[in-house]
Amino acid sequence: MAERPRARNERISNSRTRRQQHLLDVKVRSQKASAHRNRRILVSISKIALAIVICAGVAVGVRIGAKRLFFENPDYQLSEISVQTDGTLQREQVVKTADLHEGANVFSVNLARVHDDLLQLPQVDDVQVVRKMPNEIDISIVERKPVAWITADKDLPDPFASDGAFLVDARGVLMKQKKLLPEYLGLPLITGCSSESLEPGKTVGSFEARAALELLRLSTRSFMQTRFQIREIDVSKGYCLIVSDKTHARVTFGFDDLEGQLQRLEQFLVWADDSKRDIETVNLLVQRNVPVTFMKPASEVINDTLDPSETPRVMKAIPVHPEDLPKEKSAPQRSNTRRAVPVHKTRKG
């Protein structure tokens, strides 16, 4: 077969020439892709920068506007601080603790900070802080209700006058109030709590003190509240609670099953009321054959104070009759009586 004649202007193509041509095309396409990618990155950066500038401008504008309209506006200066409490906290103490000052901007008050600062007071149980426009802050406080006095001393005659006595609420939080109300004097007294340090604001953690508070809570039921009013709880023994009530009866409680022990005590009190006798001591640590003693009647106490070896002396009244009276003496006897008094003569000398 005859070969096709080659055109005069047609290049001779071989593998080396084709390889070089391919590399040249790849290089050109890579440069175009890089330029396109760089252009897209530049556009994205420009958009982000523009957005940042716009946001910063808006933030600065809002800040300046808020400062002029709110924070520097005299209409929003704090002029009234209202404090409501159901206890003995004084307004000056609350305002000082909250660090509030009249004349400050009402928007500059950090309500969360004020709330947390007021909760640090030992006698505060709950607090609400409300910002009322345009220039008022309202503070409502619920104070802890003390249920007893507590002290490390075993014998404390007057908790009012002692620095070592603290008020304690049902949760065991200790308080030291500046103003003592008259009703605090009638609160029960928990003595002998020397196993821990007592400080205002601290929560008692000893097992004995917790058991005493639980006993106070359980004893406020219908019958027990009127018949068995606790006056003192001695926890110094460490293994029991020695409780004295308003009638000076002494009841020994164990730490376990306080409610069951109160039910047994209730049965003893009902029986004592029916028999018209007053209980002196009860030991509830014993499950069976509970030792119980009763107070002596008043007549027996009076008789015990008398000495039986002595017989009372009875003085009888003797009637006097006119004929039994001595008769008047005669005149000479009276004259002799007058002469027999020489004392008057010696007085003149």
User: What are 8-23's pLDDT values in tens digits?
Assistant: 555 555 676 766 666 6
Quick one: 167 and 281 in the same domain? yes
Quick one: 59 and 86 in the same domain? no
pTM: 0.63
pLDDT of residue 255: 94
pLDDT band at 338 (very low <50, low <70, confident <90, very high): very low
Quick one: 252 and 289 in the same domain? yes
The closest alpha carbon to 147, from 84, 219, 75, belongs to 219
Quick one: 139 and 151 in the same domain? no
Instruction: Report the C-alpha gap between 258 and 219 in whole angstroms.
Output: 10
Quick one: 219 and 162 in the same domain? yes
For residues 147 and 333, which has the higher predicted lDDT (pLDDT)? 147
CA atoms within 13 A on the CB side of 220: 10
Quick one: 125 and 158 in the same domain? no
CA 112 to chain centre: 21
* Domains of the chain: total: 3
pLDDT band at 68 (very low <50, low <70, confident <90, very high): low
What ranges in 67-145 are assigned the alpha helix state H?
91-98, 111-119
Within-domain flag for 121: yes
Quick one: 117 and 259 in the same domain? no
Note down the domain range covering 109.
76-143
Quick one: 165 and 138 in the same domain? no
Residues, the chain: 349
Within-domain flag for 310: no
The closest alpha carbon to 150, from 124, 169, 178, 125, belongs to 169
Instruction: Report the C-alpha gap between 269 and 149 in whole angstroms.
Output: 26
Quick one: 155 and 273 in the same domain? yes
Quick one: 107 and 246 in the same domain? no
Q: Which of 69-73, 136-140, 269-273, 276-280 has the lowest mean pLDDT?
A: 69-73
The closest alpha carbon to 262, from 209, 294, 215, 226, belongs to 215
pLDDT of residue 321: 55
Domain with residue 103: its CATH number is: 3.10.20.310
68, 91, 320 from 82: Cα distances, Å: 27, 9, 87
Quick one: 119 and 160 in the same domain? no
